A and B are shown apart, each in its own frame.
Chain A
Amino acid sequence: MGQTITQKILAAHCGKDAVEAGELITAKLDLVLANDITAPIAIREFEKIGAGCVFDKDKVALVPDHSTPAKDIKSAEQVKIMRDFARKYGITNFFEIGRVGIEHTLLPDMGLVLPGDAVIGADSHTCTYGAIGAFSTGVGSTDLAAAMALGETWLRVPETIKFVYYGKLNKWVGGKDLILYTIGKIGVDGALYCSMEFTGETIEGLPMADRFTMCNMAIEAGGKNGIIPPDETTLAYVKQRAKREFKTYKSDADALYKEVIEIDCSKLEPQIAFPHLPENTKPLSEVGNVKIDQSVIGSCTNGRIEDLRVAAEILKGRQVHRDVRLIIFPGTQEIYKQAMHEGLFDIFVDSGAAVSTPTCGPCLGGHMGCLAEGERAIATTNRNFVGRMGHPKSEVYLSGPAVAAASAVLGCIGGPDQLEKR
């Protein structure tokens, strides 16, 4: 019986030729990571283990991106716990403000995650790195503590659901729409404990930014990891970043899948997830009149340069609606600089938008754009749970960057085509 890409990576990390779905293995890890919310608990637990060091000071990444720049004294103290720990154990990859970016954009962009790697992170969106053909999954702080000491973790080899996307994408439809549509189809627990393997001609035509977006949201369907077999697009992205050897894997033609789901993309419209679950998706034409108070473009889901270019294309020469606050978050300092050099910030600021330093802030209702009672936001982020962006009686609608930018101008949820009609 053949193996899926996920099985092959996991087998290679536990010293076996093959592994079966359902098998419990102990996997060696190439990178373990935590952020300023999850690291302090991981550090507390790590110190209980009694290890004199972390398993590899170059393979632990501590990324203070959630409540930074520190939003209050307590948050500053959480970051200080990380900083002190990083200094004590000589952790190479700790990032201060000015160098930090949103973890799941920063680490692959720096070449710290590569194809064929096995990675765990104390952040649920760690599944993002499947976009470059790595196995990566989110865990909690205690799992991360043990992994920092041992350099390994126990995993149940997941069954795989294969998604085959075909057909040419319409204008303004991208990776975010594909993944929202997919979650809408299978539900927020539709891939519980499973690997989601994204394949097909439509995926082969997707740029890296859109692939990251898709794998990033595998967790929103309950998935253990999302993964896209590496191809030329992957290698073009990875080769300029990699500072060590890596290996690419592909699923065998006779690999065993739990299910194969085919999706025709040719008629797909931009997708919107209504409150309060990412599975509550509707095509743009069925949204109706939904007024918004805020639009957020950025996050680990859609904060890459390609996302910002889409937003700029729509905002150029236009004004953000007088009743709307548009906040734009580049994912990393590199993306920030690139956007600045390309003149995107001129377009954003001229349109009446605010541009922020990289942070997870508003996505989880932490800071830099929380919602008041009764307010409504459209966001390119990944979750629209109750209270996710602020007050428990506020609402979040999820979309790709094109709809978020167009909606900011319209004052209600809408697409770029509606702007041209006006």
Chain B
Amino acid sequence: MILKGKVHKYGCDVDTDVIIPARYLNTSDPAELAAHCMEDIDGEFVKNVKAGDIIVADDNFGCGSSREHAPIAIKAAGVSCVIAKTFARIFYRNAINIGLPILQCPEAVDGISAGDQVEVDASTGKITNLTTGKSYQAMPFPPFMQRLIDVGGLIEYAKDKIKSAGCSCCML
């Protein structure tokens, strides 16, 4: 899958409170959440973001709260993928579980500036900065996580497991 878009760039420790502030957590509707995405770190983000755009950030992206509303808001805002030096662990799991592509690649983060056009091959992890012409290779996912991604996420994985093994009530 090829993803292509303009880069919105942020620094270290972008927390899930600024990605989607708690004052909007009385809903789980993706469109409503997207309307406030990144509001407390970048008031212009929602106005400027276009379908396919890419978020690039430094270390520890998505730290703090476990709210899945954060990757949901990013995905529903049209962002095609997030590239960071490192991700906070709960955000990392959440993004994979909901199907928001994330790539870990410190060299790409250092080589990409705000406003650059970037192309990502989500299946190989190749990142190309179309503005500078430079390419980078993201870290591959561990095999188990790649399998999760390949089957279509955790819910599909759980569906298969319930179908083959049954649930507690079926076994009574």
**Chain A residues near B (Cβ < 8 Å):** 24, 37-38, 40-41, 44-45, 48-56, 66-67, 71-72, 74-75, 78, 122-124, 126, 138-143, 145-146, 149-151, 154, 156, 188-189, 192-193, 219, 222, 224, 277, 364-366, 370, 383, 385-388, 390, 392
Contacts and interface: CB of A to CB of B under 8 A. Distances in A.
Contacts of A122: 66, 68
Given A51-B158, A146-B154, A366-B22, 18 more contacts: A38-B68, A40-B28, A41-B72, A45-B155, A48-B155, A48-B159, A49-B162, A51-B167, A124-B65, A124-B66, A139-B90, A140-B68, A142-B94, A145-B158, A149-B158, A219-B64, A366-B23, A385-B15
A38 B93 CA distance: 15
Interface of B: 13, 15, 17-18, 21-23, 25-28, 39-41, 59-60, 63-69, 71-72, 86, 88-90, 93-94, 97-98, 142, 144, 153-155, 157-159, 161-163, 167-170
A383 B40 contact: no
B39 to A, nearest CB: 8
5 contacts: A41-B68, A74-B26, A124-B66, A150-B161, A365-B21
A124 to B, nearest CB: 4
A61 to B, nearest CB: 15
A142 B98 contact: yes
Nearest to A45: B155
Given A51-B162, A188-B63, A192-B86, A154 B144 contact: yes
6 smallest CB-CB distances across A and B, nearest first, come from: A53-B169, A140-B94, A142-B97, A74-B26, A140-B68, A51-B167
Contact of B90 (A67, A72, A138, A149): A138
A383 B67 CA distance: 14
Contact of B22 (A50, A140, A222, A364): A364
B25 A37 contact: yes
A189 B65 CA distance: 14
Nearest to A53: B169
A388 B18 CA distance: 8
Contact of A387 (B17, B27, B67, B69): B17
B93 A143 contact: yes
Contacts of A124: 64-66, 90
Q: Which of A24, A41, A146, A224 has the most CB of B within 10 A?
A: A146
Nearest to A77: B26
A49 B66 contact: no
A55 B168 contact: yes
Nearest to B27: A74
Q: Which of A138, A142, A365 lies at the interface centre, i.e. has the most chain B CB atoms within 10 A of its CB?
A: A142
A142 B92 CA distance: 12
Nearest to A148: B158
Contacts of B71: 140
A337 B41 CA distance: 41
A141 B85 CA distance: 25
A364 B65 contact: yes
B41 to A, nearest CB: 7
Contacts of B89: 192-193, 222, 224
A224 B23 CA distance: 26
B90 A142 contact: no
A140 B97 contact: yes
- The residue among B69, B86, B158, B167 with the most chain A CB atoms within 10 A of its own CB is B158
A403 to B, nearest CB: 23
B144 A24 contact: yes
A151 B97 contact: no
A189 B60 contact: yes
Nearest to A121: B66
Nearest to B32: A74
Contacts of B159: 48-50
A366 B25 contact: yes
A72 B26 contact: yes
A224 B72 CA distance: 22
